[in-house]
Structure 1
Amino acid sequence: MANKDIIPVIVNGAAGKMGREVIKAIAQSPDMQLMGAIDNNPAHQDKDAGELAGLSEPLEVPITNQLEPMLGYVAGERQMSPGVIVDFTHPDGVYDNVRSAIAYGIRPVVGTTGLSTEQLQDLADFADKASTGCLVIPNFSIGMVLLQQAAVTASRYFENVEIIELHHNQKADAPSGTAIQTAQMLAELGKPFNTPLVEETEKITGARGSLADEGIRIHSIRLPGLIAHQEVIFGAAGQIYTLRHDTSDRACYMPGVLLAIRKVLQLKSLVYGLEKIL
């Protein structure tokens, strides 16, 4: 395969659980090459990214906390395809990470959730001006895309729905980006849900969950032993219709991540959601 066909990839959040899975997936993809592995955890500095990810052979790519020099290095690589950065970091830093990547002409694939509506719009405007592709994807699982499509179909026939999302207790943001996106997709139907029949009183604040558009409630659970799970529960007289997606291994996200890395090179603007590129 010619060098121009090889996609140079930077993984930001390389020492995290998702980052390690992404490194393994890239190492096994003949059309991609890991060029940089970024992580701010001092315990992992200078370690080989392949060894840290559990590969049998080192990749000779050391973990570093120097994001901008790595963006500049990959941007200057003219013998390969344009560069891509995969970001699985933290809500506090993802906005700045994505802006920096776009400024260097590196295409972001963002799995970190927690970006505000205003931040997403600003990044979309910036990507448009730079004519640089950017993918922001709350969930890379094909199964979750199918669940959301089924939920949109069901929402046409039910007037009451609530969402429960369950994640490991190291997840920093709540509700999850996937749950928020699911609620937004249901709200786009333009009809109100969960019309109250009584005047509710929360004896403990938050007992009824968070309130999204069109009266949709989202409940967040954080426990060790969980990875990522979501239920969309519809109710009507005499029946309950439940849609549920469970993650048992983070490897389930990797086909979506690899697809996004390839697809982002074809884009000139920001696209939100895996379903937009399938």
Structure 2
Amino acid sequence: MSESIKVAVAGAAGRMGREVVKMVLEDPQLQLVAAVGRSTGPVDAGSLVGKPDTGVILSGHLAEALERTRPDVLVDFTNPKSAMPNTETAVALGVRPVVGTTGFTPEQMEALDKQCKEQGIGCLIAPNFSIGAILMMKFAATAAKYLPHVEIIEYHGDQKLDAPSGTSIKTAEWIAESRQELRQGNPNEEEVIEGARGGYYNGFRIHSVRLPGVFAQQEVIFGGHGQTLKIRHDSYERAGYMPGVNTAVKKIMNVTGLVHGFEHFLD
């Protein structure tokens, strides 16, 4: 078997981060060498996820942890505020970022692409690592060719920081590539309450629902004469993202430059 891939995890104390730590520890092809998190103090990463101690102690300083352990890949599920500086830090040290945090601007991604190519390494920024969600987006893009009237409703918990979600924006981009811009609804429509019609994108609307008790769902609704088509994906737990993250960690080793979207790693 080839040499294991050394992995660092940023946001290791968070709910997604813990799932990543657990996934890495359970894969003999991966080796956890660093875990970064600010909310737990210096605890062993293994005990954090209910496994035996690993000798990897959580650190509060990303750059120091990366310089000390020299991982091949950094998996980052932190927040939009931290993601860009974390990614730049990793790239500067020759570490390949796999980022599940949204909020990057096109300008930031262009800059990261240039930095990665200068270092000869790859970087993945993916709004969603769920294979089911990728299929939902692909199916929606296909349907938009035939049913151009569409709206997106996405549901997340009330603590999510960005709206609309990165997945819904990516879905909207794919739909826009499949249809001409079409301003939908009554041309004399008036919003009695501001925002009632949702966010505007390429002629259609995106609606963001934020409620406690909700995990992650998205519904793409198409309307035609006498019919509707609904394409929906529901995520029930964070473990559902881990097969995608695992694939990304392994495939990023053979990439140079920035890749936006996990779909590019699906065969």
Q: State TM-score, norm by structure 2.
A: 0.96
Partner SS state of residue 265, structure 1? helix
Equivalent residue number for residue 61 of structure 2:
66
1:121 equivalent in alignment to 2:119: no
1:167 equivalent in alignment to 2:167: no
Q: Hey, what's the Cα distance between the residues in 2 that align with 1:182 and 1:98?
A: 24
Worse-matched range after superposition: 253-262 or 129-138: 129-138
Q: Hey, what's the Cα distance between the residues in 2 that align with 1:114 and 1:164?
A: 19
Q: Can you list the C-alpha shifts for 1:138-161, whole angstroms capped at 9, x where unaligned?
A: 100010111111111100001210
Equivalent residue number for residue 13 of structure 2:
15
Aligned counterpart for 1:51 among listed residues 47, 50, 53? 47
Task: Give how far 1:116 is off.
Answer: 1.7
Q: How many residues are matched?
A: 266
Equivalent residue number for residue 234 of structure 1:
222
Q: Can you list the C-alpha shifts for 1:119-150, whole angstroms capped at 9, x where unaligned?
A: 12221222122221001111000101111111
Partner SS state of residue 178, structure 2? coil
Cα RMSD over matched residues? 1.3
Equivalent residue number for residue 231 of structure 2:
243
Amino acid at match of 2:44: D
Task: Give how far 1:74 is off.
Answer: 2.9
Q: Hey, what's the Cα distance between the residues in 2 that align with 1:235 and 1:129?
A: 47
Contact 2:148 2:179 in 1 (8 A): no
Contact 2:9 2:35 in 1 (8 A): yes
Q: State TM-score, norm by structure 1.
A: 0.92
Task: Give how far 1:60 is off.
Answer: 2.0
Aligned counterpart for 2:192 among listed residues 203, 206, 213? 203
Equivalent residue number for residue 132 of structure 1:
121
Q: Hey, what's the Cα distance between the residues in 1 that align with 2:179 and 2:228?
A: 22
Q: Hey, what's the Cα distance between the residues in 2 that align with 1:10 and 1:188?
A: 36
Aligned counterpart for 2:141 among listed residues 139, 148, 152? 152
Q: Hey, what's the Cα distance between the residues in 2 that align with 1:74 and 1:211?
A: 45
Partner SS state of residue 230, structure 2? strand
Contact 1:133 1:268 in 2 (8 A): yes
Amino acid at match of 2:261: G
Q: Hey, what's the Cα distance between the residues in 2 that align with 1:200 and 1:122?
A: 41
Task: Give how far 1:117 is off.
Answer: 2.0
Equivalent residue number for residue 260 of structure 1:
248
Aligned counterpart for 1:34 among listed residues 32, 35, 39? 32
Partner SS state of residue 181, structure 1? helix
Q: Hey, what's the Cα distance between the residues in 2 that align with 1:125 and 1:193?
A: 35
Percent identity over the alignment is 46
Task: Give how far 1:194 is off.
Answer: 4.1
Equivalent residue number for residue 78 of structure 1:
none
Where structure 1 has 5 or more consecutive residues not aligned to the other structure, the ranges are 76-81
